[in-house]
Amino acid sequence: PAFTWEVRANDRNYHMQFKKRFAFCLTKKKYAGNAIKTAKYNIFTFLPLNLYEQFHRMANVYFVFVILLQTFPEISTLPWYTLLFPLSCLLTIRGLRDLIDDVGRHQSDRNINSRPCEILSGKSFRWQKWRDICVGDIVRLHKESFVPADMLLLCSSEPSSLCYVETADIDGETNLKFRQALLVTHQELVSEESMATFDGEVTCEEPNSRMHSFTGTLEWRGETYSLDSERILLRGCKLRNTDVCYGLVIYAGFDSKIMRNCGKIKRKKTKLDRMMDRLVIIIFLVLLVTSLCLAIASGFWARMFQEKHSYLSALYKNTTPAQQAFFNFWGFTILLSIIIPMSMYITFEFIYLVNSFFINWDLEMYYAVKDIPAKARSTSLNDQLGQIEYIFSDKTGTLTQNMMSFKKCCINGTIYGTGPGHENKQPSGSGLTWSHHGEKKLDFCDATLLEAAWRDSDPVLREFLRLLALCHTVMVEEKGDQLVYQAASPDEEALVLAARNLGYVFLARTQDTITISELGKKRTYKVLAMLDFNSDRKRMSVLVRDPQGTIRLYTKGADTVILERLQRRGPNETFTEMALDRFAEETLRTLCLASKEVSEVEYSKWSRRHREASVLLQDRTQELDKLYEEMEQNLQLLGATAIEDKLQDGVPETIQLLKLGNIKVWVLTGDKQETAMNIGYACKLLTDDMEILEEREISSAPTTPSSHSEILEAYWVSNNNLSGSGEVLCSSRLSQPCPEASCHKKRAIIVSGDFLDKILHMGEVLKEKKGWLWRRLACCRATGLQEPGSLVEKAFVDLATSCQAVICCRVTPKQKALIVQLVKKHKKAITLAIGDGANDVNMIKTADIGVGISGLEGMQAVQCSDYALAQFSYLQRLLLVHGRWAYLRICKFLRYFFYKTFAGLMAQVWFAFHSGFTAQPLYEGWFLALYNIFYTSYPVLSMGLLEQDVSAKKSLEFPELYVIGQQDELFNYRVFGITLLHGVSTSLASFYIALWAFEDGIGSKVVGDYESFAVTVATSALLSVFVEIILDTKFWTVLSFLMVTASLLLFCLFSFLTQSIDAFKIAPAVFRFPEASRNALTDPYILLVVLLSLVVNTIPSLTIRLYRTITGKNTIQQNIRLKARQEPEPSVELRAHVPHGSFHRRSRYAFSHQEGYAGLITRGDSLRTGDTRRAT
């Protein structure tokens, strides 16, 4: 990266002079202000920008085209303003919806930009707003406040200028992380005056989205000091355990790393929406072609007529056949334009809105504990909830409650914490006095263990509890008479709290002592050494001298590393291993605890070597690791602990149901791999019979630079059936248990953010290899397929989507969005992202559907989401019930709207063949105007609002039904084609049966006229449409019945009103069909003709339904629906997998803090001078 970002402290004028070009010759400030703007519109841009977005819908362009045609009186059939009004209503409804959403974003921006903070102004700090911060300012932060911009930590109130931060809003982790200022700024910047005179200059990389990296230098007083990410406080972090800290603003506002990871707001369109745009173009082209053919025919007919009837030439002296054809072309275009009715789009919006209310009103998705209902924040995506194929979920706060609780333990061959319903109470008469230190109620409390701890007769139990109170890096504060623990990880806090509740209370810590209260007796242990945790060692130890002078080593860590360091393996050890297996089956996070006594001679030798290793300049870490390894041998096992990372209610059941509905769940988290995998097992995403592909298992040579791409190449090769060396590559590189790519064994893949970075830059790696695979890829590129980088991406997506589960850990917010984008790009799948924090916002914006959890991490995710839920488990109802129903309803609505439109209005085309190809309407103008608004829209509307194939309960019992939406079965081009043919056949039958009947003068009355014919065709088509909708409605309600009845009554009412003699007398040009319906429909012969048309139109539908029923040729989904209606099935139960070889799983140990805390404690960096705590 280019190191061209220069920041001078306390020098705003320096930064103001720099500009950068951003569009053509326009420039803006190089250094952004700290105000942020996530809203799309402002008061000036709303109207033009919103209209621009709305006219991306092809239907709106089509309607404007028709309105423009209607402005020409020569070809107009209706006044242009009658069409402009409904279009304006449609645009206004959608515009208001967008405006309401954007007002919410403006409000959120105002709240964030108006947060207070202290900025150095002159020689003192003044309270100002976040938006007032500029690059180069020095800001003072207080405990529990959020960091307003990316800042270089200058100093803090803590020893050695340490600063503890929580990054839950950035990476979802709630454990504390420490940052430390440079020694020079810690020592020199000790007052407001020294801050005001500070004139250091930071040179670093340009603003970027890499959350976990920072490189730069600080130049001050002629010296240069290197800077890395350990010195930087990122915007969005929360200050914890630190009273005051000072920082120099490096990146502000949109230049900050978290804002660089926030994607832009994208207008989301559903799959059906995009298909409708294409259908509008197809229908319009067909309409133009039909109009052109009819116009050409009218020209020929006019010429033939004029030649044949030359005595009528006076009538045609001003128009040639060509002119007549030209005007007829536009006449037919306007006449047939109602094939895409505007009323359909207005009804569409209404159905979306009401279905959104159904989601809001669903009591099954109401979270009573916090009084949070489900909320559909977007009203135009409901049908897409029924087509989801991939769910991308955050972990912390979405799947988990972010709470650790001590659940079980095994001590000296006895398991505690097994009995249900233990109350949190002390045994009677115990007289214990440690309970007043407690501040949190403990989930775990086994009366047997409490009594055993109180009797103090078991030395192993005593050592076990002592280890929990001594072997940790927890800090303690006294608030009144309460002890408040501040832990680097929630696991550590859970263990120390468990020891406290069992009588072993951690009271105080200094640089070289730990004070604890053992069953009310205060004891101080001298800390001789702390052997720190890291991800390779998977354990931490503390070497202490007790008050009697005995030296003991206490160790806790993953079972895989502790068990192999034991002195002996006896019955207790075997039983503990069995207990660990049992805990692992319950998906608890386990640790093994061990200790040993160390002789003075052994310690003195080891201590001398330890001091020597501590001051080495080269290979210090390796030498220290060797010494730690020597000390941590011949241990005696004390027992094991089991901690639960509490899942939200119903998470495993929800994931199981979604899997049965063919929905794949991917977990994308900023957390460590061990934690993520443990949650994967806990929520049944990972199972024991799965083969886990981790990065180190992906290739046979993990040390080679390009190893990460090996399995992807192998997978791509095997999938593309390449021969020769490809097969060798495939068999050698794929993981050992399953060499064939086509192996059907269940697989899960676990990757990290670093791995994804390599995947996304693999094109360059491939170019360097110059091997046979690169030549193959180059060949592909030459033939115009895909770029090599894109092929590697596709190979990764293919591999990941072939797995039953995918977990991505240590990923940045931008990478989360990128993964969603990759699946959308290469799989063309509908995706849903669900999260609860600011770190999930980009992913939520990128996915087709974004769901925000109203959780502990603020409301940023909810404000950017399309749907807001209180719990992950409500997702099953949102998708499997509301989503599937919405998709079913919208598809049926579209199908029948198109059917009724074609069935009623295609008769205009057939009439042209019998009216000299003039653009004369067949129907009365009022029938055309009211057909789509009153006569046929209500039954279709009731179907769009209330239709169900099976009940909500059955939808959850048979999640397999969900596959219908994923496969686009209910509305696609084939279904549209069938609907078109069905509508055309209905119009043909209605028209030609009536025409056949009207060929001679018929009936007892004079009804052989044009008006009676039009009424007969109209009535036949209308009743045929009603019968078809009645046959296909699966869920009848009072409203459905009323809608059909109301439509028939409205047809009769409006026919009577518009065809009355009185109306004709008032405006004969407007009401042209006096008494036509009364004349025609009171004639028994005409009624028989209408009945014949109805029977002819209905028989094909009934025949197809009967044939399918007799032959059993239903789709799988139809059979499931039939089964769901007939026999009630038991609800889906989770069946526990038989664990085989779960030993490897127990190594998902309960550590989740970063390396380095032990060093801080032993150096005294994290301890205040003279910090002593007294037992009370």
Cβ atoms of 844 and 851 within 8 Å: the answer is: yes
Q: Which two tokens stand for residue 224?
A: 């240069």
DSSP 302: H
φ/ψ of 201, rounded to 5, equals: -125, 125
φ/ψ of 266, rounded to 5, equals: -110, 140
Q: Is 650 left (phi over 0), alpha (psi -120 to 50) or beta?
A: left
Q: What residue spans of 163-234 are helical by DSSP H?
A: 168-171, 183-188, 192-197
DSSP 935: I
Using CA atoms, how far apart are residues 794 and 791, in angstroms rounded to an integer?
A: 5
Burial of 480 (0-12, 13-18, 19+ CB in 10 A): exposed
Using CA atoms, how far apart are residues 934 and 904, in angstroms rounded to an integer?
A: 14
Q: Which two tokens stand for residue 586?
A: 């319950």
DSSP 183: H
Residue type, 797: V
Which residue numbers are catalytic?
394
Cβ atoms of 205 and 216 within 8 Å: the answer is: yes
Q: Which two tokens stand for residue 595?
A: 């200790």
CA trace torsion 1005, 1011, 1014, 1020 (10° rounding): -40
Q: Is 438 left (phi over 0), alpha (psi -120 to 50) or beta?
A: beta
Cβ atoms of 338 and 932 within 8 Å: the answer is: yes
In 3-state terms, what secondary structure has residue 185?
helix
In 3-state terms, what secondary structure has residue 173?
coil
Cβ atoms of 841 and 858 within 8 Å: the answer is: no
Q: Which two tokens stand for residue 223?
A: 């010296």
Which of 677, 838, 679, 647 lies closest to 171 in space, CA to CA?
Answer: 838
Q: Give one DSSP letter per residue of 305-324, joined into a string.
A: HHHHTGGGGGGGTT--HHHH
Q: What residue spans of 695-739 are helical by DSSP H?
A: 695-698, 710-719, 725-733
Using CA atoms, how far apart are residues 925 and 1059, in angstroms rounded to an integer?
A: 11
DSSP 2: -
User: Computed over its alpha carbons, how large is the radius of gyration of the chain?
Assistant: 38
In 3-state terms, what secondary structure has residue 687?
coil
φ/ψ of 375, rounded to 5, equals: -140, 125
Using CA atoms, how far apart are residues 914 and 917, in angstroms rounded to an integer?
A: 7
User: Counting runs of H as helices and runs of E as strands, what totals does the chain give?
Assistant: 45, 35
φ/ψ of 818, rounded to 5, equals: -65, -40
Using CA atoms, how far apart are residues 853 and 867, in angstroms rounded to an integer?
A: 9
Using the Cα atoms of residue 301, residue 304, residue 306 and residue 308 in order, give the sign of their dihedral. negative
Using CA atoms, how far apart are residues 850 and 692, in angstroms rounded to an integer?
A: 29
Measured CA to CA in angstroms, residue 1026 lies from 606, 889, 896, 986 at distances of 93, 17, 10, 12
Q: What residue spans of 114-240 are helical by DSSP H?
A: 168-171, 183-188, 192-197
Measured CA to CA in angstroms, residue 1024 lies from 632, 766, 898, 1030 at distances of 86, 64, 14, 10
Q: How would you label 969-986 residue by residue, b for 16+ Cβ within 10 Å and e otherwise?
A: ebbeeebbeebbebbbbb
